[in-house]
Amino acid sequence: PEDPRYKDLIGKNVILPIANKLIPIVADEHADPEFGTGVVKITPAHDPNDFLVGQRHNLPQVNVMNDDGTMNDLAFEFAGMDRFEARKAVVAKLEEIGALVKIEKRVHSVGHSERTGVVVEPRLSTQWFVKMDQLAKNAIANQDTDDKVEFYPPRFNDTFLQWMENVHDWVISRQLWWGHQIPAWYNAEGEMYVGEEAPEGDGWTQDEDVLDTWFSSALWPFSTMGWPDVDSADFKRYFPTSTLVTGYDIIFFWVSRMIFQSLEFTGRQPFQNVLIHGLIRDEQGRKMSKSLGNGIDPMDVIEKYGADALRWFLSNGSAPGQDVRFSYEKMDASWNFINKIWNISRYILMNNEGLTLEQATANVEKVINKEAGNVTDRWILHNLNETIGKATANFDKFEFGVAGHILYNFIWDEFADWYVELTKEVLYSDNEEEKVITRSVLLYTLDKILRLLHPIMPFVTEEIFGQISEGSIVTAAYPTVNPDFEDLAAHTGVESLKDLIRAVRNARAEVNVAPSKPITILVKTSDSDLEAFFNSNVNYIKRFTNPEHLEIASTIPAPELAMSSVITGAEIYLPLADLLNVEEELARLDKELAKWQKELD
């Protein structure tokens, strides 16, 4: 409108070549003065943007194309031609009458059918629409109530509102073979009937179009529960439902439509929570598609790794709303984790000696009451209780990835790598009473681990559970936090014990001393409680560090030549004479220095 080059022409007409028709010159913001000539010819019946311009300026909508892509009678001498042939013929005709000034190549976007690859031709047609204004307002207003639909992550609530605030009337008729047929009938007199049942009498023909699949899908939350019979048992019991799990790419297409249709037809929202998950992409982060050939058949993955491994990968490797890159390396890690659980279970069952879960539970009560067991038993039960609380809290927030990491760390690091190894000190001893208690803690902890994992790993947990208890794990109670299991003293003490063992192991590894070689270990601490704890659990220290000489005291002088480590509350010294041959180590370091010097040169 502000382009000075054409202000004098606004309101006048130009002659359309070939048709010899007058068409008006209008000014509209749609035309970009910086692009080409700044003038564009529009076709209101064959382009969405042109249609809007035509609406603003009350321009005629001339539809020149038939349903099959051929030209109709409004196309003059080109009527009956295929659309592609007609385009060539128009260019030839313009050249023939001297109206063709020049031909230029332009790069522009042309819509193609995703399935067939055929060029899509926008074309004005009569369709059924849903008026969206009030429906959208109802959906927006619902999100201002205390009983609103909760989105996880919450940012997707903004996505939902943006769609609703900028929504247009919804075209719901589709020219497809499959779907709910439009409930409208017509007769030869031009009358139309819309209803639940076909009209009485002869001469009525039902509309051949079907409803948009998203319209039909939006009815799902209540139509499957007996609606419109709102007194049906299913409707009363299951509507509204608790949680919808879906992808972010269909928040508008499905989620929003379920919400406003449920509000319209039932007066209630369809669900309380919406968990938005990401999309599965390939290892390079690309969307899986037929054209790229990067799609992965989940059945092939299950055949190789098992369903539980795939489920663990998908849940443990994801965060709500974030895309997940599929990786065979991560699938290997998932399989390894399940294999670890299986092997732990075998170890526990092989050492079980006929102990029942009921007996184990009773014995664990004795451990908690400090009537039996040792500090490592109370430590693992404390950590199990803490894991139950943290994992459950994250499951409740749909943070499956966080919950998975919590479970993984407890099962692999604390239970398998530490407690199971610590139990060998008891299970390989002659103390039968202690053995029963240790077996009980192992079996009890395994039972709780299986229950915690079952929602993600239903198959392997069911299989193992069947070997330790009667019935199905599906009907077993989910673990809950028990305040009686809290034992901070045991937790702090064993964590210090682990720190000491790790420090010695790291020192051995640093100077390449084999775990089998006995060494001298000096532990100095001014904390009398820690000193007493280490001395009372010296059997564990010896088992894991293989000392030739071990001294734990508050007055140990620091050796002149020793490797040292500091942990909370203590200093650890490993005399070098026990660790290495100084001359050999110097030779090794000289050799390594020469190697790096050569690399630098």
**What are the chain's domains?**
7-96 (3.90.740.10), 129-172+212-277 (no CATH), 334-486 (1.10.730.10), 512-586 (no CATH)
Task: Please give the single-letter amino acid code of residue 17.
Answer: P
Distance CA(373)–CA(571), nearest Å, equals 29
Tokens of 15: 């002659």
Reply yes or no on whether the pLDDT at 119 is more than 90.
yes
Q: Report residue 140 CA to chain centroid gap.
A: 26
Distance CA(519)–CA(546), nearest Å, equals 7
Distance CA(553)–CA(557), nearest Å, equals 10
C-alpha dist (Å) from residue 300 to 175, 286, 457: 36, 20, 18
Whether the bond between 458 and the residue before it is cis, its omega within 30 degrees of 0, is no
62-76, 102-116, 325-339: which range is least confident on average?
102-116
Q: What is the dihedral of CA 557, 563, 566, 572, to 10 degrees?
A: -50
Q: Please say whether the beta carbons of 234 and 226 come within 8 A.
A: yes
Reply yes or no on whether the pLDDT at 290 is more than 70.
yes
**Residues pairing with 171 in the sheet:** 129
Whether the bond between 17 and the residue before it is cis, its omega within 30 degrees of 0, is no
Task: Please give the single-letter amino acid code of residue 339.
Answer: N
Element (H, E) at 22: strand 21-24
Distance CA(44)–CA(160), nearest Å, equals 31
pLDDT of residue 578: 65
C-alpha dist (Å) from residue 118 to 16, 83, 178, 296, 577: 29, 12, 21, 26, 80
Q: Give the residue, 319 or 147, on which the prediction is more confident.
A: 147
Confidence of residue 438 (pLDDT cuts 50, 70, 90): very high
Computed over every residue of the chain, the mean pLDDT equals 93
Q: Which SS3 state, helix, strand or coil, does residue 187 take?
A: coil
Three-class SS string for 482-511? Answer: CHHHCCHHHHHHHHHHHHHHHHHHHHHHHC
Distance CA(367)–CA(439), nearest Å, equals 12
Task: Please give the single-letter amino acid code of residue 519.
Answer: I
Mean pLDDT of 431-448: 95
Distance CA(575)–CA(563), nearest Å, equals 6
CA atoms within 13 A on the CB side of 308: 18
pLDDT of residue 563: 85
Reply yes or no on whether the pLDDT at 11 is more than 80.
yes
Reply yes or no on whether the pLDDT at 528 is more than 90.
yes
Look at strands 519-524 and 547-553 and give their pairing: parallel
pLDDT of residue 251: 95
| N- to C-terminal Cα separation, the chain | 70
Reply yes or no on whether the pLDDT at 259 is more than 80.
yes
Tokens of 472: 């199905």
Tokens of 533: 């704890």
Tens digits of per-residue pLDDT, 542-573? 999 999 999 999 988 888 888 889 999 999 99
pLDDT of residue 215: 96
Task: Please give the single-letter amino acid code of residue 216.
Answer: S
pLDDT of residue 288: 84
Distance CA(545)–CA(247), nearest Å, equals 51
Q: Please say whether the beta carbons of 541 and 375 come within 8 A.
A: no
Tokens of 381: 């039960």
Reply yes or no on whether the pLDDT at 291 is more than 80.
no
Mean pLDDT of 57-69: 93
pLDDT of residue 34: 85
The percent of the chain in helix, strand and coil, each rounded to the nearest 5, is 50, 15, 40
Distance CA(337)–CA(343), nearest Å, equals 10
C-alpha dist (Å) from residue 501 to 157, 373, 418, 491, 566: 49, 22, 11, 15, 12
Q: Please say whether the beta carbons of 345 and 464 come within 8 A.
A: yes
pLDDT of residue 282: 87
Tokens of 595: 């190697």
Confidence of residue 95 (pLDDT cuts 50, 70, 90): very high
Mean pLDDT of 272-289: 89
Distance CA(43)–CA(50), nearest Å, equals 6
Q: Which SS3 state, helix, strand or coil, does residue 398 take?
A: coil
Tokens of 398: 């749909």
Confidence of residue 65 (pLDDT cuts 50, 70, 90): very high
Its sign, for the CA torsion 510, 516, 517, 518, is: positive
Q: How many residues does the chain have?
A: 601
C-alpha dist (Å) from residue 173 to 115, 176, 177, 181: 20, 9, 12, 9
Q: Which SS3 state, helix, strand or coil, does residue 549 take?
A: strand
Confidence of residue 81 (pLDDT cuts 50, 70, 90): very high
Mean pLDDT of 98-106: 90
Its sign, for the CA torsion 468, 470, 472, 475, is: negative
C-alpha dist (Å) from residue 247 to 92, 254, 472: 50, 10, 32
Q: Please say whether the beta carbons of 149 and 259 come within 8 A.
A: yes
Look at strands 129-130 and 170-171 and give their pairing: antiparallel
pLDDT of residue 377: 96
Tokens of 316: 């443990």
Confidence of residue 490 (pLDDT cuts 50, 70, 90): very high
Mean pLDDT of 467-476: 93
Task: Please give the single-letter amino acid code of residue 377.
Answer: D
H-only helix segments in 39-132: 48-57, 83-96
Element (H, E) at 36: none
